[in-house]
Amino acid sequence: MKRLVLVRHAKSSWKNPGQADFDRPLNQRGKRDAPVMAGRLAAQGIAPNRIVSSPARRARKTAKAIAAALDYPADEIELEEELYEAGVATLLHLVRCLDDADREVLLVGHNPGFTDLCNLLTGAAIANLPTCATATVEFDLASWALVGPASGQLTRFDTPKDPAA
């Protein structure tokens, strides 16, 4: 059994129009939503063996907020260049290359790739993973290498606007 938690980064700031996309920080809503969603993950018993994040500033900050709530050491968050602006093929490849010793992995990244990956893996028809949304996908598989289209089950989909469960 494997569990993958997809987390789209929290809401970012467009305050500085000249700022590079990669360097955009979280805005006030993002700073508020990240710890809330992290608390929800903790309440669900999410305990990743590994957290992998896009190196973009907004994703790193989201990953750190989640790590804090899950008692995961912030200095062990892995930054994966390929997560930034990744399409579904790249994301699927990254998942298939995860270490089988890791039972539960949390990825922090971006749309549209994360929405597309969630739909590909589960057969769901989610129109959009909003900022700071989480999607938990479970696989009845022994190896990440076996992950493929419709091989997982979407067991939880949560957004900051949803009421806390």
Cα angle at 43 between 73 and 82, to 5 degrees?
A: 45
Looking at the domain assignment, is residue 17 inside a domain?
no
Does a structural domain hold residue 113? Answer: yes
Would residue 157 count as lying in a domain?
A: no
pLDDT at 14: 78
Q: What is the pLDDT, as a whole number, of residue 18?
A: 80
Domain range for residue 41?
A: 2-10+22-152
Say if residues 83 and 54 touch (Cβ distance below 8 Å): yes
DSSP secondary structure letters along 102-149: -SEEEEEE-TTHHHHHHHHHH----S---TT-EEEEEE--S-GGG--T
Q: What pTM was computed for the model?
A: 0.95
Give pLDDT, residue 67.
97
pLDDT of residue 103: 97
Q: What is the pLDDT of residue 164?
A: 67
Say how far apart CA 77 and CA 143 lie, in whole Å: 22
pLDDT, position 24: 78
In eight-state DSSP terms, residue 19 is: S
Residue 165: inside a domain: no
Q: Do 70 and 42 touch, CB atoms closer than 8 A?
A: yes
| CB distance 110 to 9 below 8 Å | yes
* 160 inside domain: no
CB 80 within 8 A of CB 52: yes
Per-residue pLDDT in tens (0 to 9) along the chain, 165 residues: 999 999 999 988 777 778 787 987 788 988 999 999 999 999 999 999 999 999 999 999 999 999 999 999 999 999 999 999 999 999 999 999 999 999 999 999 999 999 999 999 999 999 999 999 999 999 999 999 999 999 999 999 999 988 765
Q: 129 in a domain, yes or no?
A: yes
Q: Is 18 exposed, middle or buried (0-12, 13-18, 19+ CB in 10 A)?
A: exposed
| The pLDDT of residue 156 | 95
Q: How many domains does the chain have?
A: 1
Residue 82 lies in a domain: yes
Beta-ladder partners of 138? 3, 153
Domain for residue 16, yes or no?
A: no
- Residue 66 is part of a domain; what is its CATH number? 3.40.50.1240
pLDDT of residue 26: 85
